[in-house]
Amino acid sequence: MKTNAFSIQYGRVSDPSQARGNSRTRQFGKMRDEAGLMGYDCQREVFDDGRSGFHGHHITKGRLGELLQEIDSGALIGWVLQIENIDRLSRQGQTATFALVNRILQAGVSIHTCDQDHLEAYQEIELLDVMKLAVKAEAANKEAKKRQDRASSSWSIRRDHSKADGRAIPGAKPAWVERVGDENKIVERLAAQARRIWEIADETGHGAHTITRLLNLEGIPMFDTGKPWYASRVDLILSGMEVIGYHQPRRKDGGKWVPDGAPIKVYPPIIPHDLYKRVRDAAATRLATHGGGKSKRIANLLSGLCRCESCGRSMRIAGSNSRGYLMCSGRDRGICDNAVAFPYRALESTVLDEVLPLAVDDDAFANKSEVTRVNTIIAERETAHLVALEKAKGLLNLAARGSDMAVEMALAAEAAAKRIAENLRALRKQRDAAMGRANAAEHIARLKDMRGRLRDDIDLRRKVLQAFNTVIQSVSFSSEGVTTLRLIGNIVTVKIGVTGSVLSGEAALTLKEDELAEHSDQKVVDLVRAVTHRFAKIYQRGDANWKMDKGLHRQA
């Protein structure tokens, strides 16, 4: 029966590659023919490219979700939604499909398929239609599940072959690599873009979002797409190992991609290993200290550490940068009675006196060029050691299944890993020698110079902020006007008055190795060793705050 109703034609493909074929053309061609047959006046075509009907992404992330909002608003009452068949609407099984169909019908929109199935708006679905719909919905769901299982199995086989052959999964290569015969070749103009990302990260300390903005300001397109960069792509390049030549096989675990076995060396590297290590280490430090790239100013060197003793809420700086006060944030909301204003500059000066020599390492006299050279070699050998260990582990698993050849290969891989480990130990000794160590007097002189530059040097303030976060456990502020500073593990506690004067200082340093060995927190153990070393080296001097005789005491 012909009608002059308006219609909207909806099509969908799960894989963008389908859209490059004839799927889209076929769907809309069939719907146009059906519209002519039924007398529908098509007003609009809506298409979801690469949106899964099995996972519901066409609704949560796609154009169908937008169309459903328009249908729900009542703007399309009396219209007809045309689809090729029911699985274009949903592949989530009969329950989800029934719910979606009812939602559309009850909003005044009819549904018509190219199979001549017609569901009229506001009408109860007849029993025969219910049965047909249930069968088709369930068949679509099973087919989608079968496809997903086949794809998952296919990827699993490709990953296994990749690990066995030492080659990347076909199609998984980075944008700057092209396959020429059996070799991976670098496309230099594209590699230069990826290299630029790592150089900006190294030069500025910025993360993916700021680097994305800088790339787009420079007018650098994203590889061959001609499109602007987006942060997730930049983050993918910064978090991967492809730039140093490694492919990391991955598998899905609980909906998330996780590493599956050892990285495989398959590509030519495009950046030095020491650059890779510097940027990754800096990213780890930013994460640990809640950093976020360069800021215009870093007012509070104790950011993230200051808490009110009364309510446990954070302290905030009030007032100007030069005459600021730390005050309880709970007081502003009327939920804390700690009304003391702690002058920030006086506190900063005292904390620098007490903690700076413990937080800043004394490597100012290092041979930096030699350290850089050795670090490059160490970074390469560390990666090779990791790969060798994972290879040996995989071969041992095969050997456990009775493979004699795998036993020999596993022993050879273990021997190779041991040789690399011995080489690494020698290289680290070589690096330690190149780094050098300043004596106590030289170190104290350097700290005085640092203090003189600290107020106006943003980069230096950032370094001190990060250093403080590695050694300070907490800074608490009482309603009596006393600030209590504790190092990690409570190994040192200093109480400071509201004017910045030190009221008392206590140290509970565990010097015995057997006690350290039994401690559960390795971070505390490492810090105790570092702090006791620095105390012993620096604070025996007459001009220091602490002295060490039978025990450790703060001088009056």
Which SS3 state, helix, strand or coil, does residue 308 take?
Answer: strand
The Cα–Cα gap between 46 and 180 comes to 40
> pLDDT tens per residue, the chain (556 residues)?
456 788 999 988 876 555 455 778 888 988 999 888 888 888 899 998 877 766 777 788 888 888 888 888 888 888 999 988 887 887 777 777 778 888 888 888 998 888 878 888 887 776 566 666 666 656 656 665 566 555 555 555 555 555 555 554 555 678 898 888 778 889 998 999 999 899 888 877 778 888 888 888 778 788 877 788 888 889 889 988 889 988 777 766 665 667 777 777 888 899 988 889 888 887 776 665 555 444 445 568 888 789 999 998 888 887 655 568 898 888 866 788 999 999 998 999 889 888 887 777 665 445 767 787 888 888 888 888 888 888 878 777 777 776 677 777 878 888 888 898 899 898 888 887 777 656 666 677 777 888 888 877 877 888 788 778 878 888 999 999 999 998 877 777 889 999 888 888 766 554 455 655 666 666 666 666 666 655 555 554 434 454 444 344 455 5
Residue of 488, 494, 496 lying closest to 469 (CA atoms): 488
Q: Is 490 left (phi over 0), alpha (psi -120 to 50) or beta?
A: left
- The sign one gets for the Cα dihedral 438, 444, 445, 447 is positive
The Cα–Cα gap between 327 and 497 comes to 15
- Helices (H), ranges, 489-541: 513-518, 522-538
Tokens of 291: 């950093």
Contact (CB, 8 A) for 278 and 271: no
The strand pair at 177-180 and 183-186 is best described as antiparallel
Is the pTM higher than 0.75?
A: no
The Cα–Cα gap between 131 and 116 comes to 15
Give the start-end residues of each E strand in 132-279: 177-180, 183-186, 246-247, 250-253, 256-259, 264-265
The Cα–Cα gap between 261 and 459 comes to 39
Looking at the DSSP bridge assignments, the partners of residue 494 are 485, 505
The Cα–Cα gap between 150 and 56 comes to 19
The Cα–Cα gap between 120 and 206 comes to 57
Phi, psi of 349 (to 5 degrees): -60, -45
Contact (CB, 8 A) for 101 and 89: yes
Helix (H) or strand (E) holding 473: strand 472-477
Contact (CB, 8 A) for 477 and 317: no
User: Locate tokens 């003793």: which residue?
Assistant: 309
> What pLDDT score was predicted for residue 362?
60
> What pLDDT score was predicted for residue 541?
40
> What pLDDT score was predicted for residue 479?
93
The four Cα atoms 197, 200, 205, 208 give a dihedral, to 10 degrees, of -30
The Cα–Cα gap between 193 and 115 comes to 50
